[in-house]
Structure 1
Amino acid sequence: MKLRVANLLLLILLAHATWAQKGNWQELFNGKDLTGWKAVAGAATFEVKDGVIEGTAVFGTGNTFLVTEKEYTDFILEVDLMISHSSSNSGIMARGQFDPAARDGKGLVYGYQIEADPTDRAWSGGIYDEARRGWFYPVDLNPAAKSAFKMGEWNTYRIEAIGNTIKTWVNGQEVAYFMDAMDSKGFIGLQVHSIGKKEDEGRKTLFRNVRIQTENLKPMPFKGDVFVVSTLTNELSDLEKKNGWKLLFDGKTSKGWVGAYKDKFPEKGWAIKDGILTIQKSDGSESTNYGDIVTTEQFSAFDLAFDFKITEGANSGVKYFVTLSEGNKGSAIGLEYQILDDANHPDAKMGINGNRTLASLYDLIKANKQPRFVRKPGEWNQGRVVVYPDNRVEHYINGVKVVEYVRGSKEFRDLVAISKYKVWENFGEAKEGHILLQDHGDEVSYKNIKIKVLK
């Protein structure tokens, strides 16, 4: 009898443990109706059929969202989503915000949105700041994740919003890792995107199995070498530290930097305040006032990321493979990621076919970018330069790849031959070099300067 009682108690405990594990998930959609949800900001419709939320596109209206009546802070969310047509862009709002008075009383949803992109661009799982700051994590930053989303099939999204970190998965594939402190609380939202053609009216976006955890959260670690985007100031995530990233600017001192052609940091002109490194405005001339600064360390193959903020009409640049061996006047010679106010600085119209515009390989290759991916003067932009061990090079602006080339290739050398750099033998082909921040006489600020050596 005692054995039977003990076995019964064990079964009860096991059953309770199983129930508790399942009970950690809360169903946000009951499978029958839209209790706990409301549609806002547009005229697309939502209804429940056979345990599925069907969102139907309506021509002539803006983006429409089905949002939870409750707001959430930290959570782990899972949602199944299906799209069957390329016009049916969608997304999931995480900590979403709503202004009912905006758009003449039609209301405006804004905030973090995890993308569902059925087009060939394939940015599903990327992170977009809806109706506010734009893209932060285009999936150009994680090309391996572009094949995760399946058109016409159910796709399982997992979203972790814990503290200032948002991580996303699509069908088990790690996609985006974003650190930001703007919104700590908000609603969950399901989007039916606006459509541009009357013929696409009636297209469906489907959702099911919407569930959330809000207590005893156990985040799932990323295992891959996924690029991290952060708007925080000079902080590395644990994932970045694990994968070999380090800060080139500690946010407090000039450690690791000196003036170009000098043995110490400039005594004036370059200021460090509140974690931000700023070159002060002078007369707009190149490297003749306070001078450029360079890293004391040299690099060969690397992944370099940096945030920059320009003032109106400003000009600057981030150079790499700077050897300081040419003995030239003005700025030290090196490959340059151009930093420029394209709309207000004359250099944008010089050079050849726009090869001196923002994010271009200066005077060599124009950045193939769209204006909507660039933030205006006074706002922070994210720059990135990747130099692979095989000499392939990529430039990014706000997560979008805009330049790619191969150092030392015939195509590269042909471009050098018709550029201002033709006078320098083997320009841009040094085995290693310093990273340089340019003083071009305009005020430009930097933060989050980080690098990973590639092998």
Structure 2
Amino acid sequence: MCMKFSFVPAYLIGSLLVLECNAIAANQSETNSPPPGFTSLLNGKDLSGWKGLVGDPKSRSEMSEEDLSAAQSNADVRMREHWKVVDGILEFDGKGDSLCTVKDYENFELYVDFKILPKGDSGIYLRGSPQVQIWDPESNNIGSGGLYNNKNHPSEPLVMADNPVGEWNTFRIKMVGNLVTVWLNGKLVVDATPLENYWEPDKPIYPTGQIELQNHGNNLYFRNVYIKELP
């Protein structure tokens, strides 16, 4: 029995290899590759640009420079015990405190991919204030993305837009002045709603502050954290 062999021209083999390499590059760029105009807050290797949590905006403002510096050093040691970067993904073991940007931000647009486990409960603090909610919607009968700590303005998301627990979700968060707009997985869940001052309810939200990744005692994952500062 004779076997027939198909002839594949060399130029076609070369084209296939180029396509394969392009596909690999595209897959690699899905992690830690900010869109135009945005800056990545994660370098994919370590925790540069991040610090541990010290108190809250009010308590920090009341500390002396010396006391704040000492407290920050201790918080950074604790932070590195529980947060780490693995294969470009930020992982939290559920046993420490929030992870905070070294830099303070005023008006901005933020992209964040997150993933939680069953019964997970987390959030993103804006200007050091709670929070854009992240949690297991099946355990709470309400979706993620709402301004959970609001008392006088809407606190719940407009729709439930979460992907199943264990899958990646994407936030797009825009904050201008005291107004916050949130999209979750492409769906509008918060529409230009004031974020209230949790720490000092009689005052407006702080004009600037750090961004914090918060969690309540469960494993948590973040990737592709991109920010664009706005006028």
Alignment TM-score, normalising by the size of structure 1: 0.38
What is the distance in 1 between the residues matched to 2:116 and 2:228?
25
Q: Deviations over 1:146-199 (max 9, x none)?
A: xxxxxxxxxxxxxxxxx56xxxxxxxxxxxxxx9639xxxxxxxxxxxxxxxxx
Residues 386 and 393, structure 1, Cα contact 8 Å, conserved in 2: yes
| CA offset digits 1:425-449 (Å, max 9, x no partner) | 4456101000001131101100000
| Matching residue within 311, 315, 318 for 2:124 | 318
Gaps of 5+ in 1: 1-72, 74-162, 165-178, 183-230, 282-288, 323-333
Tell me the equivalent position of 1:235. 33
Q: Which residue, out of 218, 222, 225, partners 1:446?
A: 222
Separation in structure 2 between the aligned mates of residue 438 and residue 391 of structure 1, nearest angstrom: 20
- Describe the shift of the 1:369–1:234 C-alpha distance in structure 2 as closer, same or farther (beyond 3 A): same
Match of 2:90 among 274, 277, 287: 277
Over residues 345-371 of structure 1, what are the superposed CA-to-partner deviations in whole Å (9 max), with x where a residue is unaligned? Answer: xxx26xxxx5xx41111133111124x
SS in 1 for 2:223: strand
* Cα RMSD after superposing both structures: 2.8
Name the structure 2 match of 1:424: 200
Gaps of 5+ in 2: 1-15, 17-21, 55-71
2:190 aligns to what? 403
What SS does the aligned partner of 1:181 have? helix
**Greater share of residues in strand:** 1
Provide the rounded CA distance (Å) in 2 between the counterparts of 1:235 and 1:309: 18
User: Match of 1:234, as an amino acid?
Assistant: N
Q: Which residue of 2 aligns with 1:251?
A: 44
Measured after TM superposition, the shift of residue 335 of structure 1 is 3.1
Aligned to 2:133: 338
Aligned positions of 1:9-24 closer than 5 A = none
> What is the distance in 1 between the residues matched to 2:159 and 2:146?
9
Q: List per-residue Cα deviations over 1:238-265 (Å, max 9, x = no partner).
A: xx1xx2x101111111001011012325
The separation in 2 between residues aligned to 1:321 and 1:310, in whole angstroms, is 23
Distance verdict in 2 for CA 1:428–1:384, change over 3 Å: farther
Aligned positions of 1:131-210 closer than 5 A: 163=22, 181=27
Change (3 A) 1:290 1:386: same
Q: TM-score, normalised on structure 2? A: 0.72
How many residues are paired up? 189
Counterpart residue type for residue 185 of structure 2? N
Shift of 1:313: 1.2
Q: What's the counterpart of residue 15 of structure 1?
A: none
Structure 1 residues 335 and 439, CA, compared in 2 at 3 Å: closer, same or farther? closer
Amino acid in structure 1 at the alignment position of 2:182:
H
Whole-Å separation in 1 of the counterparts to 2:110 and 2:187? 15
Which residue, out of 383, 393, 410, partners 2:180? 393
One-letter amino acid matched to 1:309: K
Counterpart-to-counterpart distance in 1, 2:80 and 2:90: 14
Cα pair distance change 1:320/1:272, threshold 3 Å: same
- Post-superposition shift, 1:298? 0.3
Find the aligned partners of 2:218 and 2:181 in 1 and give their Cα distance.
26
More helix by share: 2
For 2:119 and 2:97, the matched residues in 1 are separated by 19
Distance 1:291 1:428, change over 3 A: farther
In the aligned structure 2, how far is the partner of 1:392 from the partner of 1:439? 23
Bigger Rg over Cα: 1
Q: CA deviation at 1:392?
A: 2.9
Conserved 8 A contact 1:298-1:435: yes
Q: Which residue of 2 aligns with 1:211?
A: none
Q: 1:254 to 1:360 in 2, by over 3 A?
A: same
Do 2:144 and 2:162's aligned partners in 1 also have CA atoms closer than 8 Å? no
Which deviations, in whole Å up to 9, do the C-alpha atoms of 1:19-75 show, x marking residues without a partner?
A: xxxxxxxxxxxxxxxxxxxxxxxxxxxxxxxxxxxxxxxxxxxxxxxxxxxxxx9xx
Q: Output the amino acid matched with 1:402.
A: V
TM-superposed CA distance for 1:393, in Å, is 1.7
Distance change >3 Å, CA 368–CA 298, structure 1 → 2: same
Note closer, same or farther for the CA distance 1:270–1:403 as it changes in structure 2 (3 Å cut).
same
Q: CA deviation at 1:374?
A: 2.2
Deviation by residue 1:271-291 (Cα, 9 ceiling, x = unmatched): 21000011114xxxxxxx411
Q: Tell me the secondary structure at the aligned position of residue 268 of structure 1.
A: helix
**1:362 corresponds to:** 148
Equivalent residue number for residue 308 of structure 1: 114
